[in-house]
Structure 1
Amino acid sequence: MLRQILNFTIQNKNFVMFITALIYILGVFAYFTNHAILLSVILSICAIIGILKNFISPKLVLFWIFIFYFAFFNCTFRIKNTDELVEIAPQKNIALSGQIVSIPNSNFSDKSKFFFQTDKGKTLVTVTSLDEDFSNLKIGNYYEIKGKLRTPFEAVNPSQFDYGKYLKNFGTFTVVYAEKSGITPINKPLSLKWKFLQCLNNTRIEILNTHKKYLKSPNLEILGGIVFGDDAVAPPDYIRTNFINSGLLHILAASGMNVAFIYGFWFFFLRKLFKVPYKITVLSGMFVIILYAMMTGLGASVIRATIMILFILAGKLINRDTHSIALLSLVAMLMLIYNPAYLNDVGFQLSFLVTFGLFVSASILTSKRDTLKDKLVAFVKDTALVPFIAQVWVAPLQMFYFNTFSLYSLFANISIVLFLPLISFGGFVSSIIAIIKPLSNISCMVFDFVLTPFLNLLVAISSYFATLPHSLIQTTHPSVYQVILYYIIVLLITLLFKVYSKKTLALTLSLVLILGLSTINIPNKNLEIITFSLQNADSFLIKTPQNKYFIIDTAKSGYHGGKSQAEIIILKYLKDNGIKNLEGMIITHFDNDHSGGAVDLYKNLKIKNTYINEFNNHSKTSKDIYNTIKPLTLAKNNSTIYTEPNFEIRTYHANIANNDNESSIITYVKYKDFSMLFMGDAGLISYNTLKNQLPKEVSILKLGHHGAKGTIDKKMLQELNPQYVLISNAHNDYKHPHVLTLNVLRKTKVLRTDINNSIKVSVGKKGYQIYYFDKEFKSYRKL
């Protein structure tokens, strides 16, 4: 029976196309994850079994083997791993001449980002300006840019976003930070390609400025996002938050759904209302969606939908039908052949998975539509089922990338399904008409007047669902295996709807049980201390034997109003591991590299106690902490703040006048025979003041002030006698750790975050073990 089913399936050309595309995707996946040998062995074993059992022919196996290796070597050929700019980075002051090759993105009022092509390679430039005017930066133009050249941050902590890996998808390996005053235009003629792209972007800006006359915020930003893509106009923060919490964020970016809406309306108006000949309607529709795709900036979702519709329409013109899943497979394969890095694009993954899910579930959506009653019932059924199926296929990726689940997303999307196509099509048509200068104002005025109530309704629906209790649920980070298992279960459930089988039901229930058991986290009873690698900044997460959590220091605030290290790195780790409560937060002192993320942690977590070293600091960071965090407790000297059996956390405070660093809270953590002393930024002055109260020996000493001069001497080292000394540091202008400090420690085992990355200490029944974070394998390994 199984052999008959497989033989029949293999003979199906559409299924063969699907498997071919899947194997090609596996080849690309193998390249990016360094799993080429593992996956090739698995596929080879499957192929051998298939041949021996006469399930598949040897010719087909050889073809699929070729496809797998072609995918791998195509990635090797197309994906760059370095360029000449990497070899000269970092540099404080550099002048680069080149061309802007992407639309400048100004999602922050005082910043603009764009890719910049030079003769040494492509880099990502971030320009800041107090006057918030970046209109002189245009795609295609040539400039000389003076600024700081850096390599992007690598993922040196668990759960950290790998910015370097992300930029590699764009063939970029460096970043440049510059002021607008450091940019000088270069008068150089543009090629026809860049003239066209600049003209298209200038037209888009002019159209948005015309809409701006008749639409107020946030309606302008919402319409701009739907029609022109998410890089058109940045929505206000509260709107973005509401759309995230309600599960409607996908609306703020041009997507494949918009392509379908626009062509559907175009066909309806020309064919049904104006009786335009079929071929003219189809050909003009093809031109319209190509124009729309180019105006949006060609995101992965838009490209997918555009290519698919073009194939379908081309088939209609020659009386050929297309198989939906086979076509989707072909488009995925073509896109990955052209640019393998699309596989790492979240938009690409979501677009193809949701579309695949809808195609697979088509039989559930299909129903009789003979009578008006049947059509009405089918419409109501599909209106509810399509968003539901989309949510089912989106949910695991949303958890995987964003640690969230929108509880009311299904209801919010059903609420807007009737009028969202009107906004999409109306915004597009008005913008197309607005290209004609004499009609620009009247077109935008009329269409904006009509669309305003619908945009207001969209905002109201988003706000309503976003403010409901538990609208956005924080989730842990599922593993890749859990995500794959989830999708297998979804496919089996879909199969059960089509063909009921007791064996399929039993298999489905078994996999559901396995998936459920895999989510159970059995906590260990070890003391665990994680040192986050945060450049020249401090933050340490302590898990007690009874699974309570403390954090010592919170790293830096964001650069020029950007996100703090706490939000980007520490909170991501806490969310991935389901940590929502802290028993205590210790802010050793108010230097920004120790306290800059405290407010972000407080806003996102439940923190029982926060300890500080003074109430009289006047820095901006301290004022934010004083005004936001409640309650605040002044740390006492030689005071136990928390205990468990065989476990203690104790604070010390020298309170040295006019010396913030030496007034840092010193924290002592002891569990059984293990102990660790955290010095904050305190050094010899504080130590000598307190040494009669401090412990005489420690297992690990976290050295103060990133190993600066005056943080340790031979006498202090002899008295504390640590087995390891830990220094949190990175490349910096202060020459930390200082050469004199390293000289004192030359015979001591030293742990450094610039060398070992994030460091984890686990203390159990057999003593303690130290781990370092392996950047390549994204996990902790024994030191």
Structure 2
Amino acid sequence: MPERALSNKLREYKNPLVVICSGILIGATFYFQNIKLIILISLCLISLILFLFFKSKKIILFVVTVILGYLYTVNYLQFAGPNIDQFLHGRYIYIGEIKSKANNNTFNKTYDFKLKTIQAQNSQKKWEINNCNIQVTGSKYEEYETGDIVQITGRLKKPKSAILPGLFDEKKYLLTKNIYYLLKADNGSLVFLDKAKSAGITQAINTLRDKLLSINKTYLNGEKLSLVNGVIFGSKASTLSSKLKEKIRNLGLSHITSASGFNVSILAFGVFALFGFFNYRKKIFPTIVCICAVLTYSAIADFSPSIIRATVFIILLLLGNLFDKKIKILPGISLIIIVFFLFNPANLLDIGLQLSVLGFLGLDLFASEAIGENKSWFLNIFYQSLFAQIMVTPLIVFYFHNIQLLGLISNLMAVPLASLILMTGLINIMFFGIPGINYVFQKILFYLSGSFIRWVNCLDKFEFKQMFLPSLNFYLLILIYAMVLFLLLAFFIRFSKIKFFISLFILILAFFTTYTMTDTGKYLKIFFLPVYNQDSVLIMPPKERPIYLSTRPQDFHHQHLKEFLVLSNCSFNTISYNLKNKTKVYFPSKYVTDEKNKIKIRYKNLSVDIVKNYIDRISSEAEYIKLPLLNKKDPSLSEIFNIFPKTIIINDVKKLSGKSKKDILWLKSQSLKSYLLSETGTITLISDGDKIDLTTSE
């Protein structure tokens, strides 16, 4: 196999931009994955030792950027972000600008809101706020437009972290959108004040978008029109039914209805070729027109993150071409990642960014190498789909815990059809207003979109479209990618057999060693959940049925619990127990017992008591005590303890009475560790009976 092209591309890893990007990614990863600082220090020390042997300045650059990446992430997210915690849970008047179109739900609307001023309800006291974006949930009957300056009355709260490990994390998702708070608006409280200075531009973009989306309405309707608009302008422009969306997602075709780099590159190539034909001697005019077209398209696609990434890269390529400078792939991608990181380190959490970068690397490094001089259309599509799938599959398993088994087959037909739909749709827009030409192109779109939907419906009839897998921890994900890259490089670049098998053996040994060290199946795990106005505890004893304790077990979202147990590779049925139950229950567990007023959990040196109510005084020698919800009629906490424990956990996620607030203040004043679930989020206790690890989700 030829190796020159791939070898030359891989040498780009020595480029300073690639080194800086690698250091930043590693430093930020240590923060986001809560990896211990001692490991970060060890990594830097090992790198410095390597510097003593190899005397390479790039090693020093790498160490410095790892440390700076970590410090910048910590500083930005903990200190540089907005802090308006003083207004949490109180009712205030919020004044600012609506920054996005509303997402309609069954009972309300949600939209992004740039906060400028907070005003007290009963006085003229105001607080000016800078650089604070919040997400508002308001009445679905209120009408407003992007760019409106409005005032809203409501209560502010913080986004929630995942209630159980591996489930949807609202806090991290909103961080990627630079949103730090949520606002629940009172019904009918929205008052229009003014239009923002940029409202004219926003209105013009919205009007242009609406006109472009309606171009194909003459001859297309229903799912076909939604599909065409989705392929051309992305998922925000698509109104596909939930049933068809699910089919597309199960077949691994979601990327087709998401505006991405493919859309931008097709548009840029077409515009540049068209205007280059009329001005073939110079590159300046077609380059300027092409950049304007790409920026306009980005605005119409609502500046989605994937479009912004592609737009920046395409503009770099165009400027490089203008000055006869070839843009190298790895440094170019590294520069984009660095820019996104500097604007907001949380951008690195964007799953779309991670998938698009990995997919693009698979296409550029390996698919292009496999294709070589081959001009077969079928093989080109096959190799592109194959290597893109190989690169993104481990990450999909890490986040979504499933594999689309028909993903490779579905893309073989769907990608060419989507390409034709995109090119035909863009040409139809360019010749908009010429009835004869529009009729021809819309007829072509009619048949292409129909063929795409028939292909999806045909594959959807297969029973086994996807396979669900247990959750994959971060360390195993890194080792899987190391193994995938090693095998791909070994396929394209010649290794000696001895080096190949030794390297493969080391990777496999590292994988199984890491799996053994990080496998928590042999540990007892307890999750104290911050469910509103009810006590909720999930106990997962080793090799026994999970036990779910709650004051209202029937009200909890069992789908969340079921999904978590699947991700944890737990095949046992859950035992549900009502903490209000006064009769004694015998649990089929050697670690959990029911006593008069508490549930006792004992596992070697671990001792946890879950108190049911405040009827009796609390006499417990357990190291951890979970107290029930605080109620106004219960006795004061200062009166109920015969023995003070080392650690107290209490769920205060509810509307607290004045007495309950005094109890919490008293609890904080005592010389013991107290955890309030409203502050900590989900508390996880993991123990092998000797060592005890307590972590919080916030």
Instruction: Say yes or no: TM over 0.5.
Output: yes
Per the TM alignment, residue 322 of structure 1 is displaced from its structure 2 partner at its CA by 3.3
For 1:350, the equivalent position in structure 2 comes to 355
Secondary structure, in 3 states, of the residue corresponding to 2:236?
coil
After TM superposition, the structure 1 stretch with the greater mean CA deviation from structure 2, 227-236 or 353-362, is: 227-236
For 1:236, the equivalent position in structure 2 comes to 241
Which ranges of structure 1 fall in alignment gaps of 5 or more residues? 1-7, 370-374, 559-563, 590-612, 614-635, 653-665, 689-694, 777-783
- Contact 2:401 2:567 (8 Å CA) reproduced: yes
Matched, 1:53 2:70: no
Per the TM alignment, residue 415 of structure 1 is displaced from its structure 2 partner at its CA by 2.5
What do residues 131-172 of structure 1 show as CA deviations (whole Å, max 9, x unaligned)?
4x64x222x221112222223335675446554454444444
What do residues 688-722 of structure 1 show as CA deviations (whole Å, max 9, x unaligned)?
9xxxxxx9999687655x132445799x9699999
What do residues 293-352 of structure 1 show as CA deviations (whole Å, max 9, x unaligned)?
222122332223223333333333444433333333333334434554432222111111
CA distance in 1, matches of 2:527, 2:427: 55
Change (3 A) 1:667 1:389: farther
1:173 to 144, 161, 180: 180
What do residues 613-638 of structure 1 show as CA deviations (whole Å, max 9, x unaligned)?
9xxxxxxxxxxxxxxxxxxxxxx955
Per the TM alignment, residue 265 of structure 1 is displaced from its structure 2 partner at its CA by 5.1
1:127 to 115, 120, 137: 137
TM-score between the two structures when normalised by the length of structure 2: 0.79
CA distance in 1, matches of 2:383, 2:156: 50
For 2:631, the equivalent position in structure 1 comes to 708
CA distance in 2, matches of 1:446, 1:11: 48
What do residues 716-761 of structure 1 show as CA deviations (whole Å, max 9, x unaligned)?
9699999987543325245684768999999999765346643456
Change (3 A) 1:469 1:286: same
Change (3 A) 1:510 1:672: closer
Matched, 1:419 2:413: no
Letter in 2 for 1:361: F
After TM superposition, the structure 1 stretch with the greater mean CA deviation from structure 2, 497-506 or 464-473, is: 464-473
- Contact 1:31 1:72 (8 Å CA) reproduced: yes
Aligned pairs (5 A) from 1:289-438: 289-362=294-367, 364-369=369-374, 375-376=375-376, 379-431=377-429
Change (3 A) 1:580 1:250: farther
Per the TM alignment, residue 420 of structure 1 is displaced from its structure 2 partner at its CA by 0.8
For 1:662, the equivalent position in structure 2 comes to none
Change (3 A) 1:263 1:571: farther
Secondary structure, in 3 states, of the residue corresponding to 1:186?
strand
Per the TM alignment, residue 525 of structure 1 is displaced from its structure 2 partner at its CA by 5.7
Per the TM alignment, residue 77 of structure 1 is displaced from its structure 2 partner at its CA by 8.1
For 1:111, the equivalent position in structure 2 comes to 109
What do residues 231-266 of structure 1 show as CA deviations (whole Å, max 9, x unaligned)?
334543323322222111222321112223334555
Per the TM alignment, residue 18 of structure 1 is displaced from its structure 2 partner at its CA by 2.9
Matched, 1:506 2:502: yes
- Contact 1:526 1:545 (8 Å CA) reproduced: yes
CA distance in 2, matches of 1:464, 1:213: 28
Change (3 A) 1:579 1:545: closer
- Contact 2:385 2:412 (8 Å CA) reproduced: yes
Equivalent residue pairs, number: 671
Per the TM alignment, residue 428 of structure 1 is displaced from its structure 2 partner at its CA by 3.6
- Contact 1:527 1:764 (8 Å CA) reproduced: yes
Which ranges of structure 2 fall in alignment gaps of 5 or more residues? 1-7, 117-127
For 1:496, the equivalent position in structure 2 comes to 490
- Contact 1:157 1:533 (8 Å CA) reproduced: no
CA distance in 2, matches of 1:735, 1:219: 58
TM-score between the two structures when normalised by the length of structure 1: 0.72
What do residues 4-40 of structure 1 show as CA deviations (whole Å, max 9, x unaligned)?
xxxx999979745433432344455567668788647
1:485 to 474, 479, 489: 479
What do residues 490-531 of structure 1 show as CA deviations (whole Å, max 9, x unaligned)?
222222122232203430243134325544676656654332
Aligned pairs (5 A) from 1:208-287: 208-209=213-214, 211=216, 214-264=219-269, 279=283, 284-287=289-292
CA distance in 2, matches of 1:468, 1:735: 59
Matched, 1:137 2:145: yes
Per the TM alignment, residue 389 of structure 1 is displaced from its structure 2 partner at its CA by 0.9
What's the % identity of the aligned pairs? 20
Letter in 2 for 1:137: E
Change (3 A) 1:703 1:499: same
- Contact 2:228 2:445 (8 Å CA) reproduced: no
Aligned pairs (5 A) from 1:337-736: 337-362=342-367, 364-369=369-374, 375-376=375-376, 379-431=377-429, 447-466=441-460, 468-497=462-491, 498-502=493-497, 503-516=499-512, 518-519=514-515, 528-553=525-550, 570=561, 573-579=564-570, 581-586=572-577, 638=584, 640=586, 642-644=587-589, 646=590, 679=612, 684=615, 704=628, 706-710=629-633, 727-734=650-657
CA distance in 1, matches of 2:538, 2:420: 50
